[in-house]
Amino acid sequence: MMKNFKKYTLIACSLFTLAACDLEIDITNPGLITEEKPDRPQAGETITYRAQVWVEKNDMEELYGGERLFRQNLEALFRNTTTFWNESTNKFDYRFEWAMGEGDDNLVIYDIKSGVKSQAEYNVYKDKAYGTLNTEKYDFVLFLALRCTKGGLSCGGGGASKQSVVQAYFEEGHDIFAKKWPEKGTYSDLGHEYGHVRGAQDLYQYMIPAENNPVSHVAYDYPKCNMGTGYQEWSDYCSAIFNHNAQYKQITADMTRSTYPKQMLVRVTKDGKPVQRATVNFWGSRATFRDIYAEPGNSPYMKKKTDANGEFTINDIYRMFIPDYNNTPNLPPKSPVDEFPFSRWYCFVVEVELDGGQTKCVWLSDLDIVPEYLDGGQQEPYVFEIQL
């Protein structure tokens, strides 16, 4: 896994019963879509994402009654996840189905040893799950470690065939098949991970309490979502991303970029009239810290001034949120302690400086920008108006 750690950024997430869920996204190499664009499916169509499942032989036999029974339970687990996905409140254009692929190798049975095993022992095989995948038959990998010393769910990106790998480690005594929809269970925790497979962020990173916001001293009003801020609900952001990415079975960083409009026109008005030469500061929020990064004495991430029309343009919205770390000033340090986890901003407090030292602050979030853009409510450039 060290190999993947070097290439991909790791996102830690911990709202779940299982303590940890990480997302690794390739943000260092946006890459290019070289494949031909598949046709956009018809609205209402069922789109199936097919898993190749990896399981340890002794776990399957000692805990789950052998292959035949395990396969049956696994099919039911996928059906529960599919129900969870589609029955959660959403704005989906399609029905999304999660299932095992149909090849002979849809269940890869690896063999370590009997009894409890360490993460390191499992990881030898988990690394292999990042190898070549037959994408004619499978879209992603579900790697199961069912008798581990330490539990935790995560989603990694960037397999050899661009596949995501959902890594699911469970401690002794946890029956992954015990809970059924609508009760919260392993199938719904996996449903959250599949949200990462389809390109969604952990939304709990946007839970910024008022005390962590030294600029405007208010909490961020995040949407409820299966991505960590609610249960049995998909935010508009996730619905828009899943719809947009629906026909792509593997998701690249390039696709993440394509969910953002390119340019933003920021306009400051008062009583409908443009406010000229207003200074506008952008303060970003970070993962893990869940705060607005504004240490005393720090410059804002961006400082802009409106022109004679009360406007200015931001040329690359994606890069505003996900900056090129080494070529962008005013970012939190990455060492000795990583104060900028995942090397991206989540949302911004936008602060307009007024006469007499007063300020007016508003939120700017990609949880609003992305769905507004993808649903066609906003086009290029994305217009962000601040009314004083």
Which stretches of the chain bind Zn ion, using CB under 5 A? 13, 21, 202
Q: Which residue is nearest to Zn ion (CB)?
A: 13
Give the shortest CB-11-to-Zn ion separation in angstroms. Answer: 7
Gap between the Cα atoms of 252 and 62, Å rounded: 38
β-pair type (21-25, 107-110): unpaired
Nearer to Zn ion, 202 or 311 (CB): 202
Give the shortest CB-196-to-Zn ion separation in angstroms. Answer: 6
Query: How far does Cα 365 stand from its chain's mean position?
Result: 15
Give the shortest CB-205-to-Zn ion separation in angstroms. Answer: 9
Instruction: Check if the beta carbon of residue 141 is closer than 8 Å to that of residue 166.
Output: yes
Across the strands, what pairs with 56? Answer: 110
Give the shortest CB-353-to-Zn ion separation in angstroms. Answer: 37
The amino acid sitting at 278 is: A
Nearer to Zn ion, 202 or 351 (CB): 202
E-strand spans in 67-158?
A: 95-100, 107-110, 140-148, 152-156
264 half-sphere exposure, CB direction, 13 A CA radius: 22
Give the shortest CB-163-to-Zn ion separation in angstroms. Answer: 18
Give the shortest CB-228-to-Zn ion separation in angstroms. Answer: 6
Nearest to 154 by CA among 140, 170, 142, 167: 167
Question: Cβ of 134: how many Cβ atoms within 10 Å?
Answer: 12
Gap between the Cα atoms of 3 and 123, Å rounded: 12
Nearest to 47 by CA among 80, 86, 88: 86
Give the shortest CB-157-to-Zn ion separation in angstroms. Answer: 13
Instruction: Check if the beta carbon of residue 17 is closer than 8 Å to that of residue 72.
Output: no
Nearer to Zn ion, 82 or 229 (CB): 229
Nearer to Zn ion, 154 or 250 (CB): 154
Nearer to Zn ion, 146 or 166 (CB): 166
Give the shortest CB-324-to-Zn ion separation in angstroms. Answer: 25
Give the shortest CB-192-to-Zn ion separation in angstroms. Answer: 6
E-strand spans in 76-206?
A: 95-100, 107-110, 140-148, 152-156, 165-171
Nearer to Zn ion, 13 or 165 (CB): 13
Nearer to Zn ion, 21 or 144 (CB): 21
Nearer to Zn ion, 59 or 202 (CB): 202
Q: Which residues of 144-177 are buried (b: 16+ CB within 10 A; e: fewer)?
A: bbbbbeebbbbbbbbbebbbbbbbbbbbeebebb
Gap between the Cα atoms of 11 and 192, Å rounded: 14
Structure tokens of 212? 């962590």
Across the strands, what pairs with 52? Answer: 141
Instruction: Check if the beta carbon of residue 333 is closer than 8 Å to that of residue 339.
Output: yes
Across the strands, what pairs with 269? Answer: 274, 387
Please tell me the total number of residues recorded for the chain in this structure: 388
Nearer to Zn ion, 167 or 213 (CB): 167
Nearer to Zn ion, 13 or 240 (CB): 13
Give the shortest CB-16-to-Zn ion separation in angstroms. Answer: 8
